[in-house]
């Protein structure tokens, strides 16, 4: 198992703690995976993402067993006849980031890390803090100074040291990277470390299984740094190679209009994403002005035959109210996904009769 540079192809063993290539390229992960037997997985007594162990970078009897909190296998809720919401706030720390965090922290523990460093706008930091505590590792989390108090208190509750950083989300990442480079500690990055996607890809395995071996025509996916979207792309490529599906579902990505660099690059026909000004958005979880994986996100969306749109602040707030009136109380960033769906069916009316799934990424108590 190795990290591999997406630019020059250089390989690095996981023990190297590499998070970026010397050429400046970002890293993917390569290892041998076994096809999943979805019928056996559906019948398994293990109701967590670990029932897909054959396609995860661990052995059956490995350290993940001492770290798992039962994450995964979240409900699929029917919203309309053909529209489903996957309730990933049914997680130990109340967000989908637990999927990636448990895989990343289990590997950090396996590699002998005693202390990890993360940067986050909230939910990823909470998940890393929780699973590092579970694994008996110390944790430092760098967050933007504007991060909601609720998210900060949750991170601190798990014993992590909080470092508030003034400025942009990118300034927060730089502060964390500076500490990583000066200390040599394990960088538990949900952006730079592709192990995180090995957890988020299970969202799509589960959806396929829950729909009786059927893959929706499209997935609505929020995109800031792209951790769920890249998990989707990996899962779809794997399932195509296994012969489980015969075509890739469309990735219909959603950004907030007030911070939408990937949307602008996509509509402009660009292959790389240029940074933009964050004008301020309710959807703080996807307010990423300079996404490091932008080029990979664009490639994934285009390869799926998908699209990217930007949603307004008004539509995000209204979507949250609408979901709450249906008994579903989500954090504001999650509401952007439903707002995105409502905009997409105007653009593509045929989606009204197609099976579509969107994520409820985080619980409402996480935000105001």
Give phi and psi for 85, each to the nearest 5: -115, 130
Q: Give the chain's largest Cα–Cα span.
A: 54
Cα–Cα distance, 271 to 320 (Å, whole number): 33
Dist. CA 178–CA 63, nearest whole Å: 29
CATH of domain 76-95+195-366: 3.40.50.1100
Element (DSSP H or E) covering residue 161: strand 161-165
Judge whether 229 and 251 are in contact, CB under 8 Å.
yes
Render pLDDT for 186-223 as a digit per residue (tens, 0 to 9): 999 999 999 999 999 999 999 999 999 999 999 999 99
Q: Are strands 161-165 and 186-187 parallel, antiparallel or unpaired?
A: unpaired
Tokens of 174: 């730089």
What architecture is domain 97-187? 3-Layer(aba) Sandwich (3.40)
Portions of the chain given CATH number 3.40.50.1100: 76-95+195-366, 97-187
**pLDDT tens digit string along 103-135?**
999 999 999 999 999 998 788 999 999 999 999
Q: Scanning the structure block, which residue is given the tokens 């769920």?
A: 228
Name the least confident of 19-23, 103-107, 139-143, 363-367: 363-367
* pTM exceeds 0.85 for this model: yes
d(CA 160, CA 193): 20
């Amino acid at each position: 198992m190795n990290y591999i540079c997406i630019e020059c192809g250089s390989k690095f063993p996981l023990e190297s703690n590499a998070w970026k290539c010397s050429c400046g390229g970002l890293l993917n992960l390569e290892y041998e995976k076994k096809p999943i037997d979805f019928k056996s997985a559906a019948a398994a007594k293990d109701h967590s993402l670990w029932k897909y162990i054959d396609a995860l970078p661990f052995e059956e009897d490995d350290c993940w067993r001492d770290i798992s909190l039962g994450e995964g296998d979240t409900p699929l809720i029917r919203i309309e006849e053909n529209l489903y919401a996957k309730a990933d706030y049914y997680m130990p720390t109340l967000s989908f980031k637990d999927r990636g965090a448990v895989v990343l922290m289990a590997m950090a523990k396996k590699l002998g890390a005693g202390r990890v460093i993360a940067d986050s706008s909230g939910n990823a930091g909470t998940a890393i803090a929780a699973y590092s505590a579970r694994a008996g590792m110390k944790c430092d989390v760098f967050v933007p100074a504007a991060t909601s108090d609720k998210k900060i208190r949750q991170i601190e509750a798990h014993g992590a040291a909080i470092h508030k950083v003034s400025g942009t989300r990118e300034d927060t990442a730089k502060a964390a990277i500076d500490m990583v480079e000066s200390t040599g500690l394990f960088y538990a990055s949900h952006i730079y470390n592709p192990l995180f996607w090995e957890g988020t890809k299970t969202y799509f395995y589960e959806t396929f299984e829950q729909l009786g071996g059927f893959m929706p025509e499209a997935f609505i996916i929020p995109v800031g740094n792209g951790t769920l979207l890249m998990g989707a792309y990996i899962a779809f490529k794997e399932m195509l190679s296994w012969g489980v599906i015969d075509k890739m579902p469309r990735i219909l990505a959603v950004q907030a209009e007030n911070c939408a660099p990937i949307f602008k690059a996509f509509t402009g026909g660009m292959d790389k994403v240029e940074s933009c000004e964050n004008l301020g958005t309710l959807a703080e979880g996807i307010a990423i002005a300079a996404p490091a994986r932008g080029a990979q996100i664009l490639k994934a969306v285009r390869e799926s035959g998908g699209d990217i749109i930007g949603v307004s602040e008004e539509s995000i707030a209204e979507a949250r109210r609408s979901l709450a009136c249906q008994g579903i109380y989500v954090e504001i960033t999650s509401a952007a996904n439903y707002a995105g769906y409502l905009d997409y069916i105007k653009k593509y009316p045929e989606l009204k009769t197609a099976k579509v799934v969107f994520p409820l990424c985080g619980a409402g108590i996480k935000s105001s």
